[in-house]
Amino acid sequence: MAAQALALLREVSRLEAPLEELRALQSLLQSVPLSELREQAAELRLGPLFSLLNENHREQTTLCVSILERLLQALEPVHVARNLRVDLQRGLTHPNDSVKILTLSQVGRIVENSDAVTEILNNAELLKQIVYCIGGENLSVAKTLIVEISSVSPESLNCCTTSGLVTQLLRELTGEDVLVRATCIEMVTSLACTHHGRQYLAQEGVIDQISNIIVGADADPFSSFYLPGFVKFFGNLAIMDSPQQICERYPIFMEKVFEMTESQDPTMIGVAVDTIGILGSNVEGKQVLQKTGTRFERLLMKIGYQAKNASTELKIRCLDALSSLFYLPPEQQTDDLLRMTESWFSSLSRDPLELFRGISNQPFPELHCAALKVFTAIANQPWAQKLMFNSPGFVEYVMDRSVEHDKASKDAKYELVKALANSKTIAEIFGNPNYLRLRTYLSEGPYYVKPISTTAVEGAE
């Protein structure tokens, strides 16, 4: 089949007006597996197809774009960057939007590939051209690409700032259009994932501006459009830099997170819960939360309530955040931190262990797995092991393989057993017989099925 496609491709390159052949090729490519096309990648000559885009013929252009979309997937990004540069440059300035989007998606593939992107970065002229061509576009895919290119290295960021494109993005971030603002903050958050990106945003005063917009959000009736993105930005910034420094320098961030948990809007609660989970994923972040004292304990009580009563999606987000908050690697288990996680756990509800067991018994695999993840997060902490051991039926529940029916649930249960079995304190707290049962479960693997013994019945045929 791939051979037929190659023959048609050769036919197209010989003819001046190959409409029939293009229709046939487009139709054929829908049934050729990508793996077959990849095997023939060295034979794919795409130059003639790109040339046909230059003619002002609508159907021909549509067919060529559709064919190129498929064939380019079969080529490695490095090959595209090396051999189709000129075609990409032409595509970026093409009057037809579908051609531009096709070209931009290829530039996106190149930017995401570390080998291919050096091809662009080593060619300053090409990089400039890509940046300037993208700059002429108001397509959101173009803005996303600018951020991706800026994130690669300080040099590529410099190229994008010199062209004025990043400045334009930042202007829109603080502009009046709340919907554009909401889109821009996602892109700026991506840029902040790199060290040089964060440095640039700090130097340009962008982080201060975002903080000020959050301060003024109460007076803005449309703030719900962009506030979740702005809070997420600070959550990501805190975990990549220093939670303590970010929370001290921008107190409005934590203030707003606490405020959002009081909201009646599930979107706001969800973002606040996610942010708490991100912030509490390392020890410094946990200590920042601990410093807020009874306020954080009240917040935990709310998360416990939502984990039991909210929609399935919000329940899962609450459980994921709690897994992140409670997990302590063995080497960081000081007495103070263990006391802290124990007191947090007891703030969730009257009987948190029973709360999570109740959630895990609901007939939704995602909820079941999320509840098991919470147990796994605390499984290596002695106070939690004592709670589990003293909770009627809990040890049996852990050992019982008949509870889980799907692969994800079996994997999640296995992770819990592994966390318990590998803990240094488990044999002492659970007792040797239970410890040995855990080790047996571990060695049998997640999908073990106990053989059913068959006994011959006398007189049976």
pLDDT digits (tens, 9 = 90+) for 222-267: 999 999 999 999 999 999 989 999 999 999 999 999 999 999 999 9
- For residues 265 and 280, give the distance between their C-alpha atoms in angstroms, rounded to a whole number: 23
Q: How high is the pLDDT of residue 400? A: 92
Helix (H, G, I), strand (E, B) or coil at 226: coil
Closest CA to 356 of 345, 343, 340: 345
The percent of residues in the chain predicted with pLDDT above 70, rounded, is: 96
Q: How high is the pLDDT of residue 461? A: 45
Q: Which pLDDT tens digit goes with each residue over 8-37?
A: 888 888 887 788 889 998 998 888 888 888
- For residues 34 and 64, give the distance between their C-alpha atoms in angstroms, rounded to a whole number: 18
Highest mean predicted confidence (pLDDT) among 17-21, 42-46, 284-288, 403-407: 284-288
Between these two residues, 316 and 176, which has the higher pLDDT value? 316
Burial class (CB in 10 A: 0-12, 13-18, 19+), 433: exposed
Sign of CA dihedral 208, 210, 211, 217: positive
Q: What are all long-range contacts of 300-304, with beta carbons under 8 Å and residues at least 24 apart?
A: 300/344, 300/347, 300/348, 301/347, 301/348, 301/349, 302/261, 302/262, 303/261, 303/273, 303/276, 303/348, 304/347, 304/348, 304/349, 304/352, 304/355
Over range 144-158, report the average pLDDT. Answer: 86
Query: Poorest-confidence range of 20-24, 277-281, 302-306?
Result: 20-24
Q: How high is the pLDDT of residue 415? A: 97
- For residues 21 and 323, give the distance between their C-alpha atoms in angstroms, rounded to a whole number: 57
Q: How high is the pLDDT of residue 85? A: 83
The percent of residues in the chain predicted with pLDDT above 90, rounded, is: 61
What is the secondary structure of 426-445 as a DSSP string? Answer: HHHHH-HHHHHHHHHHHHH-
Q: How many CB atoms lie within 10 A of CB 194?
A: 17
Q: Which pLDDT tens digit goes with each residue over 368-422?
A: 999 999 999 999 999 999 999 999 999 999 999 988 889 999 999 999 999 999 9
Domain ranges of the chain: 373-444
Q: Is the pLDDT of residue 1 over 80?
A: no
Q: How high is the pLDDT of residue 14? A: 83
Q: Which residue has the tokens 């200590």?
A: 287
Q: Which pLDDT tens digit goes with each residue over 92-138?
A: 888 888 998 898 889 889 888 878 887 777 777 777 777 777 766 65
Q: Which tokens sit at 86? A: 């000129």
Helix (H, G, I), strand (E, B) or coil at 146: helix
Q: Which tokens sit at 58? A: 């609508």
Let me know: does 426 contact 385? Beta carbons within 8 Å: yes
pTM: 0.79
Classify the phi-psi angles of 30: left when phi > 0, otherwise alpha if psi is within -120 to 50, otherwise beta: alpha
Residue 329 per-residue DSSP state: -
Over range 185-195, report the average pLDDT. Answer: 94
